[in-house]
Amino acid sequence: MTPAAIQRYISNPRYAYFAGWLDNQLAGVIAIRNHQHLFHLFVAPPLQGQGIARQLWQFAKTDAIVAGNQDGFTVNSTPYAVPIYERFGFTITGEKVEMNGIAFIPMQLNL
């Protein structure tokens, strides 16, 4: 993704982006689209496995609920991240999809 594309997402009011910082360094980023779809969740590789993704998710989830989401969330997970989202309470809702060389598995979390 180009810096210009990232800037377009961050500037778009449909997306809520949140950043997590540790010792003045960017530790991770999460984005929720339309208060319902977990769009991005990234944690710096050296910091993975330390609960940062869960903290980002809890913060973004609470923000979306306060903003009016009463139904739940969706995510298109990479095959690698499925166990992480399952720990967050998501369940698989369909078969693996491949588009433009990218594979994802649709998942959902009902509130």
Q: What is the pLDDT along the chain (111 residues), one digit of tens a residue?
A: 788 888 898 999 999 999 999 999 999 999 999 999 999 999 999 999 999 999 999 999 999 999 999 999 999 999 999 999 999 999 999 999 999 999 999 999 999
Cβ proximity of 42 and 71 under 8 Å:
no
CA–CA dist 48, 27 (Å, integer): 9
What's the CATH code of the domain at 94? 3.40.630.30
pLDDT digits (tens, 9 = 90+) for 37-56: 999 999 999 999 999 999 99
Q: Which of 81, 86, 83 is nearest to 103 (CA)?
A: 81
The count of structural domains within the chain is 1
Tell me, what's the pLDDT at 5? 84
Q: Which domain holds residue 59?
A: 3-110
pTM, two decimals, is 0.91
